[in-house]
Amino acid sequence: MKVSSFKWLFGKNSEFWPTNMKTGMWAWVGHRLTGLGLVAYVFLHLSFLSTASFGEDGASFDDLMATTSQPLFVAIDFLLVVAVIYHAMNGLRVVLFDLGMGIRRQKLVFWICMAVAAVLSIGGLWAVWKLIFVSSGGA
Amino acid sequence: MAEQRIATTKVAGTWAWALQRLSAVLLIVFLGIHIYASHFMNLGEETAGDTLITFEDVSIRLDQLLYIIVDYGMLSMILFHGLNGLRTVMFDFDIFAKRHKLVDVGLWILGLATLVWGIFILLPFITGSGG
């Protein structure tokens, strides 16, 4: 990619420069970034599980679960949960607009979806916080 | 710019658009079932109170046809939704939009191969052997 086209895409006058972006554009950029991250995650998820599935016995799966219940893994898992919740809630907003609902109040709909996303994220944190901050490795 | 957007819409396809929305809504429901079944459901007395998921837990769950359908159905929809989303992003770039048929074929192969991979990953849990 040429420098000029990079400037056109991401420079100060571009539609992606942070101060040029409004609510809907932020929502769109966030949707794409979380979407790409989640696609990468699916392949990571299958890779991890396949190391356990094709082992000798059930023990290899249980070992994997013990490893992935360590605080660092659970903390990364929580980021994944937040990404999923954001993507789902903003996706719901996109579906509503495609059905012709709420377009005129798109900012309000966005913030309602984000409020729901925040509540769900806090619920997610409540479910895993012990694994991150208290115990070292589940059970 | 406007012309480019119209061209992108044309190669992306109406069916893909509709199925992207349908799978999106279904995935929210399936994901809820998946998280609840994996982490919150009480699976028999011998595993109750155990915070770690064991091979046995998953195996007990996958004795039921419903959960086999939920898991494989979810994997299929995730792969479709994820790779079709990736396709949408790619088609916003001229270099991929110009070669949209090649992109379609490549992503279909990747998706189907990954689905087969996923089917094999879950088999030891369904048969209850190996793992």
Report the residue from A43, A52, A138 with minimal CB separation from B51.
Answer: A138
Nearest to B72 by CA among B11, B15, B126, B128: B126
How many folded domains does chain A comprise? 1
- A43 contacts on B by Cβ (under 8 Å): 114
Alpha-helical (H) ranges within chain B are: 2-12, 14-35, 55-61, 65-91, 94-97, 100-127
pTM: 0.83
User: Taking CA atoms, what residue in B is nearest to A120?
Assistant: B32
H/E stretch holding A53 reads helix A23-53
- A84 contacts on B by Cβ (under 8 Å): 31
- A7 belongs to a structural domain: no
At residue A135, the pLDDT reads 61
Nearest to A23 by CA among A136, A108, A122, A80: A108
Residue B106 exposed, middle or buried by CB count within 10 Å (0-12, 13-18, 19+): middle
The answer to whether the beta carbons of residues A53 and B131 sit under 8 Å apart is: yes
- A72 belongs to a structural domain: yes
ipTM attached to this prediction = 0.82
Architecture of domain B2-44+52-127: Up-down Bundle (1.20)
Packing angle between helix A71-98 and helix A106-129, nearest 10 degrees? 160
Contact A62 B117 (CB under 8 A): no
Domain boundaries, chain B: 2-44+52-127
- A14 belongs to a structural domain: no
Q: Residue A57 belongs to what domain range?
A: 22-134
CATH number at residue A90: 1.20.1300.10
pLDDT band with cut points at 50, 70 and 90 for residue B49: very low
pLDDT band with cut points at 50, 70 and 90 for residue A138: very low
Q: What is the pLDDT of residues A46-101, one digit of tens each?
A: 998 888 777 666 668 888 888 888 888 889 999 999 999 999 999 999 999 989 89
Q: Which of A45-49, B103-107, B126-130 has the highest mean pLDDT?
A: B103-107
